[in-house]
Structure formats: structure tokens, C-alpha cells
Chain A
């Protein structure tokens, strides 16, 4: 199985900060990487698919990059409503696997 190592596990940042979250795959997954946002008590929401494509309706301050084994989710200017846990998902091969999550809080 492909292991997804996500970092950091916890992140504290201020409104307006540029925030980056990383995911590293244990083997090449090309660009088959999605990012999800999960707010407290809610279902996950797809933000980015195939490493760098913005899902419809998601603000442009969210972006994704990377290919192969190393991927990054960037929030260009953190907003209060971005407080959430963020997960990556590899869908290159079965079984699909998620990163452990990054909990983002406001400083």
C-alpha cells in the first residue's frame, strides 16, 4: 500500500499568513493527489484534485502543486473560515490512502 506522510500535524497561523501543508507519498503517484478540507463536525470537502486543479466554487487563495512523491497545498492569505483539518488522498492505485491530516488553527 502507498503510505501518505502529511506534515505538519498541527499548524497555527495568523489571518493573512501564507500557509503550506505537505504530503509525501511512499512511491510515485504521478499527479493523482487530492486535497480535502474538513471543518469541525462537517463532512470533508474537495478543494484540489489531480494535484493542482481547483474544484468548482473553491476560493482562489487555495492552490496545489507537486508531482511524483511530493505535494503541497498552499493558502495564499489565511482567512478565519479556513480553520479546519486538511487531508491529502492518493488515488493512483488501490487501496486509496489518506494522509493523517493537518489541523490548522488561528494564532
Chain B
């Protein structure tokens, strides 16, 4: 059974940094693209970042490019999202998702950016 468990969320001040983690199990992690998708409170879904199987290719929308960095450790079956220069509009539940097109999702972790 595929399991994705996010951690690292919390309350952070604007301009500060936060790093999210996602522990994967139940599938061969190194064979799959991985991604982060977020959902602001009572809003729709927004793709945040994608990383290739080896980590050599990464993709971001303009809203986070230059501030967020996705990475992975295949030996640990773990995915990460380093978020810098956080803004209030980054407040959301962040989901870890497997596959190029988000086949399986974790339960999500809340990030609140507020002073």
C-alpha cells in the first residue's frame, strides 16, 4: 500500500523559511517522479513543484520559482520542499504526491505564514 506522510509544517513569520518532508513507502520511490501540491484554506489546488526520478530535473510555477526548492533522497525514500522568503499567500495545506501526475497523495501538512 502506498503511503506518503508529510511533516515539518507549522506557523512561520513572513520572510522566514521552512522545510517540509515526505516519507514514502509501499512503492519503489526511486522509480517515480514526485511532487508537491498545495491548497489554500477553502480554495482549490495549486501545483507547487515536481522532481524527476534522479532529482536532476525540477519544475516550478512562477508563483514559487526562486523561493522554493524541491529535492529528494532516494536512499531514504524521502521528498523535501525547502521554502524560503515565505509570504502570507503561501499559507496552505501542502500535499506530497507520487507520480508525474499525482497518482497518490499524502494527508497533507498545514503551513501558516503570519506575523
Contacts and interface: CB of A to CB of B under 8 A. Distances in A.
Interface of A: 34, 36, 42-46, 49, 55, 87, 89, 91, 94-101
Contacts of B45: 36, 44, 87, 89, 98, 101
A96 B33 CA distance: 14
Interface of B: 44-47, 50, 59-62, 95, 100-108
Contacts of A34: 101-102
B101 A89 contact: yes
B62 to A, nearest CB: 7
19 contacts: A34-B101, A34-B102, A44-B45, A44-B102, A45-B105, A46-B101, A46-B103, A46-B104, A55-B103, A89-B45, A91-B101, A94-B61, A95-B59, A95-B60, A97-B47, A98-B45, A98-B46, A101-B44, A101-B45
